[in-house]
Amino acid sequence: MQIAIASGKGGTGKTTVATNLAAVASREGRRVAYLDCDVEEPNGHVFLKPEITRREPVGIPIPHVDPALCTLCGQCGEICRYSAIVHVGKQVLVYPEMCHGCGGCSLVCPTGAITEAPRPIGSLRVGRAGPIEFADGLLDIGHPMSPPLIRAVKAAAPAADLTILDAPPGTSCPVIEAVRGADFVALVTEPTPFGLHDLKLAVEMVRVLKQPLGVVVNRAGANGAELRGYCATQRIPILAEIADDRRLAEAYSRGVMACDASAQHAATFGRLLESLLARQGGAA
């Protein structure tokens, strides 16, 4: 089973939920894999403290044009939706920063003038945090495209009873790449106007992908009536409400997980795990 932890905005507590779910599940005897797909700013390692056993670069294939074979037919430029390769006058220009590495240009080249060479975009780390299998990625500074690295992180997932995907914030391409294929998407939000606004965007995204979803309310308190009303109207289950507790914030600031800082929060995440497993028809 794969559970994606996502949110419409940053700072809602995705990593708090994802790491604590992984910890609680592993302590119940399940084989758990935690994948930090927020490759622009991964921080799951701060809490799980894994021992990294493998590091490797990740790249995307960039076209190289052999002018001796190129007939300037322009088919490569026509197929590229991102204008990463264009026919200008008597030459073909390649813009590596715009290339998505799809390989379409080399496929349509009638003379075989286009070959591909990898261009590094980031790095993959794989290891273990106690019984938890761990993987994350770190996008190189200045590189604009994270989906290929997110795919590499997901591909590194070992066989497990439960895989937790810690997605990037927002509703753009990186998030879609992270949650795609998950059995269930848990959207973490907070009872604020901004939290509700961005939750609505995230709900629309997940529904377009036709994936089952539920909501986890972090920093829950008495001011969440509008949020609860929206979920009720949209028939979205609220899977758990995590209390607005100073102890949790203090533990977070020290890199300590909530389930280790408070028995109350450990029980909350245990119930959340049961709810998620039950909605998918069973436990591991």
Q: pLDDT for 31-41, tens place per residue?
A: 999 999 999 99
Residue where a domain terminates, one of 120, 146, 171:
120
Q: Is residue 245 part of a domain?
A: yes
Examine the domain organization and report whether 168 and 215 are in the same domain.
yes
Q: Are residues 135 and 202 in the same domain?
A: yes
Alpha-carbon separation of residue 5 from 8, 104, 138, 187 (angstroms): 11, 33, 18, 6
CATH number at residue 113: 3.30.70.20
Query: Is residue 114 domain-shared with residue 128, that is, in the same domain?
Result: no
Tens of pLDDT, residues 127-185: 999 999 999 999 999 888 899 999 999 999 999 999 999 999 999 999 999 999 999 99
Query: Do 133 and 23 share a structural domain?
Result: yes
Torsion of CA 97, 101, 102, 108, to 10 degrees: 80
Q: Is 284 among the domain residues?
A: no
Q: Shortest CA distance to 75 belongs to which of 119, 101, 114?
A: 114
Report d(CA 16, CA 32) in Å as an integer: 16
Q: What's the pLDDT score for residue 211?
A: 96
Residues 236 and 172 in one domain: yes
- Domain annotation covers residue 143: yes
Q: Are residues 196 and 69 in the same domain?
A: no
Closest to 185 in 3D by CA, of 280, 283, 284, 44 = 280
Q: What is the CA radius of gyration of the chain?
A: 22
State whether 8 and 67 are in the same domain.
no
Model pLDDT for residues 39-85, shown as the tens digit of each residue: 999 999 999 999 999 999 999 999 999 999 999 999 999 999 999 99
Q: Are residues 168 and 230 in the same domain?
A: yes
Per the listing, tokens 């009872």 go with: 191
Residue 224: the pLDDT is: 86
Is there a single domain that holds both residue 147 and residue 192? yes
> What are the tens digits of pLDDT across the range 111-135?
999 999 999 999 999 999 999 999 9
Residue 165 near residue 153, CB atoms below 8 Å = no
CATH code where residue 273 lies: 3.40.50.300
pTM of the model: 0.90
263 is a domain residue: yes
Number of domains the chain is built from = 2
Judgement on whether residues 132 and 104 belong to the same structural domain of the protein? no
- Residues 92, 224 share a domain: no
Pick the last residue of a domain from 120, 152, 171.
120
Are 92 and 180 part of one and the same domain? no
- 264 inside domain: yes
% of residues, the chain, pLDDT over 70: 98
**C-alpha distances in Å from residue 76, one per residue of 82, 93, 225, 227:** 11, 10, 54, 49
What was the pLDDT predicted at 144?
83
Residue 222 has pLDDT above 80, yes or no: no
User: Is residue 180 domain-resident?
Assistant: yes
Q: Residue 177 belongs to what domain range?
A: 2-58+121-279
